[in-house]
Amino acid sequence: MWEKILGLPREEAEAHLAEAGYRVAEVKFTGREPGSTSEGEDRVVRVRVVGAGQVELVLAPVYTQPPAKGGGRKDGLPDY
């Protein structure tokens, strides 16, 4: 079941978990601050059971635009 949650946006993951009877107790972010760039969308990278019917989600930014030709990103941010 957890494999289906990985890679989903937060809202979709929470909906799937609610259908399965789980409640999101906490959401954590890894990498830069959430919403710090318009190019990235936060996706679930880890799900951890923290109690009876409760899970913790860890989200990380996933970039949907490829790097610019001839180099890295034009905004100076790293490509990770």
pLDDT per residue over 22-71, tens digit each?
Answer: 999 999 988 766 555 555 688 999 999 999 999 999 998 887 666 666 66
Q: Which of 11, 12, 14, 41 is nearest to 25 (CA)?
A: 14
Q: What are the extents of the domains in the chain? A: 2-63
Listing from the earlier edge strand, what are the strands of the sheet with 40-51?
A: 23-29, 54-63, 40-51
pLDDT at 55: 96
The pTM (predicted TM-score) of the whole model is 0.69
The three-class DSSP label of residue 46 is strand
Place 5 in a pLDDT band, splitting at 50, 70 and 90: very high
Quickly name the fold that domain 2-63 has: Trypsin Inhibitor V; Chain A (3.30.10)
- Which tokens hold the place of 31? 């990498």
Which residues, at least 6 apart from 18, have a Cβ–Cβ distance to it below 8 Å? none
